Structure 1
Amino acid sequence: MNPLRILGRDVAIDLGAASTQIYVKGKGIVLNEPSVVTRSLATGKVVAVGADPAPKGDILTVRPVSGGVPYDGDLTRHMLRHFLKKAHGHPFARPRMVIALPSDPTGIIGVTLRNMAYDLEARRVYLVHHGVAAAMGAGLPVKDASGNMVIDIGCDTTRIAVVSFGALVTARTIPVGGSDVTRALVAHIRRDHGLVITEAAAEEAKRGIGTAWKPLRRQAEVPAVDPYTGERRTVAISAELVYRATKTPVERIARAALDMVEGLSSDLALDIGDRGVVLTGGGSLLRGLTRRLRQELGIPVQRAERPVETVALGLGRCVDNLRRIPGELVTRL
């Protein structure tokens, strides 16, 4: 009997606020679903997880993860157990797990992720810093002496990291992400038009016509509701409005990146100035963002080839070669 059927293939988990991705050794990324759990308001029971269709009726859909950290441990475990069963197809699998570790100066997050993984029947847990995984997934030479900077723009946070000599040099997380732009659009429509639009509608418009660079004269019609009469309406969101909504988030990301560079040694700072920055994460997909940040930072900026999957791919490299990955890259628990 193949022991992999009993123990389960090694897996990597990129636990994000917007989505969770699971990489299985020898197979690649086999699952990419929204990090959401839907509960019945009547019974409190979970009725849908991830991309599964939710039933009609009084339900509440929540995101139990923020910034790569479970803020609702019970719901996160329920969600991951559901995802792992899908990924493995075997209810009794006990795989080794590699998990992305956000910035964790206190060590509490690492302990939380470790305990959660063991609750999910992991037989061993490996934590790889999120910034290191992103750099590896982007194909950067993380083992070289040169400095490599990665900016991962997620749903609710942006993580900035510098990697050199196969190890994390410095990292910072700021509470800015793609959802800030979406919420700004919702607030603008409410303030200037007196209408309510959903974040989902604003997100769709942002992806369709949005830009972080000089906008064209484009707009998108989105459904809206008059909160006082309940009348259904439509309202236009312009590319110019999206551009204005990106101003504060982009400036905060650029300021944090510049502050980090200023704190580096002169050699590493010169490396970053020469090699530039690689953008990853779903938030990096906004049109014109690389050009806008290039202007703000004054150094080269490019987007990873597969920005949404970059961290999962980096973790997957660890999963595929656990015995060959240098010890400084991995924390074994």
Structure 2
Amino acid sequence: MKSIGVFTSGGDAPGMNACIRSVVRSALYLGIDVYGIKYGYNGMIEGDIYKMKSYSVSNILQKGGTILKSARSNEFRTKEGRQKAYEQLKKRGIEGLVAIGGDGTLTGANLFYEEFGIPTIGCPGTIDNDLYGSDYTIGFDTAVNTALDAIDKIRDTANSHDRVFFVEVMGRHSGYIAINCGIGGGAEMVMVPETSVTIQDVIDTLKAGENRHKTSHIVIVAEGGEQGDAIEVAAKVSKELPKLDIRVTNLGHVQRGGAPTALDRMIASRLGMAAVEGLVNGQKNSMVGIIDNKIVFTNIKLAISKSKPINDELMRLVEVMSI
């Protein structure tokens, strides 16, 4: 393999730049030309592609976001769009791809491989940590720490005013951020898409806390929770417990930004190098991940089709620590 392309797609995640850097320098170390594809699949279709050198990725390890930019591509969803993308890669002699992103990115990569056969390795880049085949995804640790910093500050004002705060974190289909924030932030309850926590459960927990003379509470709500978002949940609880001073905070996209933590830099660097070496060693339609601190490759079809269950022990830890 003499030439590969690297791109980021979908939602950005802290550590994507560290992964780009690792891909570029690993490829150059092995004597492989590497091209940066800007704006994801859109850039692939439009030919927004440039040759990268070692200096192209200098001083980006510590930066959030992605220097290759990211965009969603409706045109790539069409056969004609994918044909255009293939022609752009063929024109430049690109023989393999490293796709950094989440579920949507890998879904596109799988379809592209099935139609045109270009070997592709996916690097799981999403703060949600919801891809099967890796214990951690790039950006997850940073997102949790960013959210925790805010939750610690919210706890201060909750204690000062005897308030109940419902804090919404990202995780439309996954509760990993919420659970880790709940444990690390000392929340009384966590509501995630994977479990059926009812409004009555929340009410009972808050009442039990009051009986133990707790004057403030934090409830973490994943954005995709079964009972609705934090505003909806808070409204339902307030109707049943009107005496409580209830406030809502949505942490939103702040969780996607900022300098990546040391862990995310390490994970991204390991995955980037492994992706390049995987292409060289014949991996074709795989996602590279880390399980039990070891590099593993999982077929992309499996990675995007199999759900990654939450750890029941962690949910139990939230419950035990809330008393």
Flag whether TM exceeds 0.5 (same fold).
no
State the TM bucket, normalised to the shorter chain.
0.3 to 0.5
Scaled by the length of structure 1, the TM-score of the pair is 0.32
Of Structure 1 and Structure 2, the greater helix share is in 2
